[in-house]
Homo-oligomer: A and B are copies of this chain.
Amino acid sequence: MGRWEPNARGRLERAALDLYGERGFEKTTVAEIAARAGVTERTYFRHFTDKREVLFSGTVDLQAMLTGAVAAAPASATPLEATATGLETIGGVFLGARARSRRRQAVIQANPELRERELIKMAAFAKALAETLRERGVRDPAAALTAETGIAVFKIAFERWLDGSADRELPDFIRESLAALKALTSGA
C-alpha cells in the first residue's frame, strides 16, 4: 500500500456528489468535500479546477466517443444521419445508468452555477461536433447548425429519458426526438 489511500480523485467525486445532494451545492464547502475524501482542500484543487468541475469529469470521454462515431459514419450518410449515429452511440453509454444520472442531474438542476457549467460542456460538444462535420466535408452554416440542433435533440431526449418511466432507454428517446425535429421543419 502506498503512502496514501489510492484513488483520491474518485473519493473526491463521490464525496462531492453526496454532499451536494445532502446539503446543496452552496452550503457545501470544498474543505468539507476534501475532509470526507480524506485529503486536504489543496489536493482537491490539484484534481479539479474549481468547485463545480468535480461533477463533470466524464465529459471528456463522452465527447471523444461522439466525434469518433460521427467521423466513422459511412461517407454516404447525410450530416444529420452521421450526427444521429454519434448521438445514439453516446446514448448507449447511459444504458442502466438511469438512477445515477438522475441523481447527478437533480443536483445540477438545483443550482444555477452548476447549470452554467453543464451548458458550457454541451456547447463544447456542439463545437467539437461541428468541427467533425466540417472534416466530413460539410460546409457552414450547415455544419454548425446540424451540430447545435443535434445537441438540442440530445438534451431534450436526455431530459425526457430521466423524467419518463424506466422501460424505455435513452437511444429510444433520441430517435423519437430526431423524428420530431424532422416533422417540425417539413411542416413549416
Contacts and interface: CB of A to CB of B under 8 A. Distances in A.
A81 B188 CA distance: 7
A8 B148 CA distance: 39
A177 interface: yes
Given A115-B120, A152-B149, A152-B152, A188 B182 contact: yes
A133 to B, nearest CB: 11
Contacts of A176: 141
* Copies of this chain in the oligomer: 2
A155 B126 CA distance: 12
Interface in A29-79: 78-79
A165 interface: no
Q: Which 7 A-B pairs have the closest CB atoms?
A: A148-B152, A80-B188, A119-B119, A116-B116, A185-B185, A78-B188, A116-B120
Contacts of A184: 79-80, 142, 145-146, 149, 185
Interface of A: 78-81, 112, 115-117, 119-120, 123, 141-142, 144-146, 148-149, 152-153, 155-156, 159-160, 176-177, 180-188
Contacts of A115: 120, 123
A185 B80 contact: yes
Nearest to A177: B141
A145 B156 contact: yes
A130 to B, nearest CB: 10
